[in-house]
Structure 1
Amino acid sequence: MTTERGNEYHRPVLLEESIDGLAIKPGGIYVDVTFGGGGHSREILRRMDPTAHLYSFDQDADAERNIMDDDRFTFVRSNFRYLKNWMRYYGVEHIDGLLADLGVSSHHFDDETRGFSFRFDAPIDMRMNKRDGRTAADILNESSEEQLSNIFYIYGELKNARRLATAIVKARSSKSIVTTTDLMTVTEALMPKERVKKDMAKMFQALRIEVNNEMEALKEMLTSAIELLSPNGRLSVITYHSLEDRMVKNMIKTGNVEGRMEKDFFGRTATTMKQLKGKPIVPSAEEQKENPRSRSAKLRIAEKVAEE
C-alpha cells in the first residue's frame, strides 16, 4: 500500500518546476537520486505512463518508510554516487531524466537524535547513512587543527576557520566534543553576535559535508548521470549552497566540476549538456514564505545534446 508519510517527512522544494524540467515521456526511464520523503518521486510517478519506470535512491534507512507500492517503481538503498553501478545491475544502459534535490531534508533537521541542527542538544552524528562511516564527533575529536580549519573554510566559507579549529583542538584536550551543545559552547564566543546563527549554520554545514563526503559523491553522480542520459535526456538539479551549485553549473557547461573548457581536435568547444531556462529557477515568494527551507534553493535544468 502506498504510504503518505512523505508530507510529514519532508516538503519537496520546487516540485512542479523540477518535474516539469524532466519533460517526462511515455516509456521513459527516470531516476530520483534523492528519494527522502518521496515527494518528487510521487509526482514523477503521477506523470508517468504504465510503460515507464522510476528508480529512486536513498542511503538513509528512515527514507524506506516512505517507499511506494508501484510496479513502475524501484527503490535503491544506496548512496547516489553508485548510480552507474546500480543502473548496470538493473540492466539499464540509458536514462531519460534524472532529478536531484541536494538539500538536507527537513526530516533530518527536525530529528533531535541525529545532530544535524544546533536547535537541539544531541549526539553530533550527522551521518546520512547511520550504518556506516565516521560521525561528526569523530571528525571533531580526531582531525588535526589544519584539517578542521580546511573543513570550515572550504565547506563552510568561514573567515574565522582557523580560530574555530584552534579552539576545538584546545577544548578536546580536556573533554571530548560529543554533542551539539559541546560544539556550540566551544565556538559560539568566536562568532560575531550579529552572525551567530548564520555562522553556526555554516559550521554545521561544513561538518555535514565532510561526514558524508558530499562533494565527491556529487561529482561522481553528475559524471555518471551525464554518461547515462540519452540524447535530449534531462537533468533537473536543486542546489542550496554555492559549493554544490558551482559544481552543477560547471558540469553542465563544461562536462567537469572544475569548469575547465575542453576543445576537440579542430579547436571546437566540446559541449555535452545545454542549460535550459537561462538563469536558475528560484522558488516563488509564496513558496519561500510557506517553506523557509526553499529560500536558498536554485534549480538548474539541462538537456543532453544530441550528437550530430
Structure 2
Amino acid sequence: MNYHSPVLLKESVDALDIKEDGVYVDVTFGGGGHSREILSRLGEDGRLFAFDQDPDAHANKIEDDRFVLIGENFRFISRFLRFYGVKKVDGVLADLGVSSHQFDAAERGFSTRFDADLDMRMDQKSKLSARKIINTYGEQELSDVLFLYGELRNAKVLAKTIVEAREVEEVKTSFQLKEVLQRFLPKAKEHKILAQIFQAIRIEVNQELEVLKEFLQQMPQLLNEEGRLSVIAYHSLEDRLVKRFIRTGLFSGEPEKDFFGNISVPLKKVGKLIVPTREEIKENNRARSAKLRIATLK
C-alpha cells in the first residue's frame, strides 16, 4: 500500500512524552508510521491502541502483542477502549485529514486528478457518498456545505449550477463535476478552487468536523493526569476547533468566569504551535499546511 511517510513524525510522538509502561492511542492509523514510532519507545508493559475505519489501512496492521488495531471511527474512542478494559490513557495522537494513500487510490474519488466515481467515503459502510450529496442535496443545503467547509464565496452560484446540471443528467464522476463547474475554474486558480470544492464535499461525507468535536470532548475524561494530546491539522477549519478547544474547552462562545474572574478550562496547551521544516515540506508536499498543537490535562 502506498502510504507516504507521516508528517511531523518525531515532533508529534515527542509531544506525547512517552512513558515506557504507558497506554497510548493513535486514532488515525493509516500506514502505521506514527504507531511504529510510538511502539519503538514503549517498554514490554506499554500498550498502544490504534483506530482506522478504512479497511485499506488494515493491510498495514502491526504484529506486536502490545498493539491492538480497532476498525472503527475515532469518534467512538472511549466506548471501544472500555471494551478492552481501558478507561484512562497517557496520550492520544491524531493526524487528521485524508491519507496520501486515499488521495492516490483513484477509485476512492478523493482526488481532483483522477476521473472516478464521486465516493469520498473513509468508511466504506457509510450510506452517504459524494455522489449522493451532489445529486440529492437541496440548493441551499449544497450552498451551505460549499460555503462553510470549502470557504467558497461563490457557493450559491456553484450550488445553483450543480442543481441545474443534475436535472439534465446525474453527476456521477469527479470529471463530470469538474465539467459542470468549468466556467468557475479560471486556469490559474483551477486546482485551488477544485481542491476547496472537493474538501467541502469530503468533510460533509465523513462528518469530519462533528467527528473531531466529539473526539475532543472526550479528552478531559480519557486522559490521565499529565496525559498528553498531540493533534496535527491540515486546514483552518480543523485547526481552529483544536486551538479553541485547548484554549477554552468550547467550540463557540467564551467560558464562564468565576467570582474572581478565573475560567476553568480542562486542558492546557504545551509549548508553541509546531509546523514542518522547509526540508520536510520539500520531501513531502502534504506537510505544507500541517499544524501540530499539543495539550495536557490541567
TM-score (norm 2): 0.97
State the AA in 2 paired with 1:145. E
Work out the CA distance in 2 between the residues paired with 1:189 and 1:168.
12
TM-aligned CA deviation for residue 196 of structure 1? 1.2
Please list, as runs of the form range in 1=range in 2, the aligned pairs for 1:75-94 lying within 5 A after superposition: 75-94=69-88
State the AA in 1 paired with 2:284. N
1:291 aligns with 2:284: yes
Does the 8 Å CA contact 1:26/1:49 hold for their aligned counterparts?
yes
TM-aligned CA deviation for residue 267 of structure 1? 3.9
Unaligned 5+ runs, structure 2: none
For 2:189, the equivalent position in structure 1 comes to 195
TM-aligned CA deviation for residue 265 of structure 1? 5.8
Residues 287-308 of structure 1 show CA distances to partners (whole Å, capped at 9, x for unaligned) of: 0000000000000011111xxx
Please list, as runs of the form range in 1=range in 2, the aligned pairs for 1:123-272 lying within 5 A after superposition: 123-258=117-252, 260-264=254-258, 266-272=260-266
State the AA in 1 paired with 2:52. D
Does the 8 Å CA contact 1:236/1:302 hold for their aligned counterparts?
yes
For 1:108, the equivalent position in structure 2 comes to 102
For 1:41, the equivalent position in structure 2 comes to 35
Secondary structure of the 2:227 match is strand
Does the 8 Å CA contact 2:271/2:294 hold for their aligned counterparts?
yes
Does the 8 Å CA contact 1:281/1:300 hold for their aligned counterparts?
yes
2:271 aligned residue (274, 277, 283):
277
1:22 aligns with 2:19: no
Does the 8 Å CA contact 2:78/2:87 hold for their aligned counterparts?
no
State the AA in 2 paired with 1:301. I
For 1:71, the equivalent position in structure 2 comes to 65
TM-aligned CA deviation for residue 93 of structure 1? 1.4
State the AA in 2 paired with 1:283. P
Residues 103-133 of structure 1 show CA distances to partners (whole Å, capped at 9, x for unaligned) of: 2100011001010011000001000011222
TM-aligned CA deviation for residue 248 of structure 1? 0.3
Does the 8 Å CA contact 1:28/1:52 hold for their aligned counterparts?
yes
Work out the CA distance in 1 between the residues paired with 2:271 and 2:287.
19
Work out the CA distance in 2 between the residues paired with 1:263 and 1:41.
39
TM-aligned CA deviation for residue 62 of structure 1? 0.4
State the AA in 2 paired with 1:97. G
Work out the CA distance in 1 between the residues paired with 2:256 and 2:22.
31
2:295 aligned residue (288, 297, 302):
302
Work out the CA distance in 2 between the residues paired with 1:90 and 1:230.
17
State the AA in 1 paired with 2:290. A
Work out the CA distance in 1 between the residues paired with 2:182 and 2:195.
11
State the AA in 2 paired with 1:288. I
TM-aligned CA deviation for residue 48 of structure 1? 0.6
After superposing the two structures, state which structure 1 stretch, 79-88 or 184-193, moved more. 184-193
What percent identity do the matched residue pairs reach? 53
Secondary structure of the 1:9 match is coil
Does the 8 Å CA contact 1:253/1:259 hold for their aligned counterparts?
no
Does the 8 Å CA contact 2:20/2:41 hold for their aligned counterparts?
no
Secondary structure of the 1:203 match is helix
Alignment RMSD (CA, Å): 1.1
Work out the CA distance in 2 between the residues paired with 1:195 and 1:259.
35
Secondary structure of the 1:286 match is helix
TM-aligned CA deviation for residue 193 of structure 1? 3.2
Does the 8 Å CA contact 1:97/1:229 hold for their aligned counterparts?
yes
Matched residue count: 298
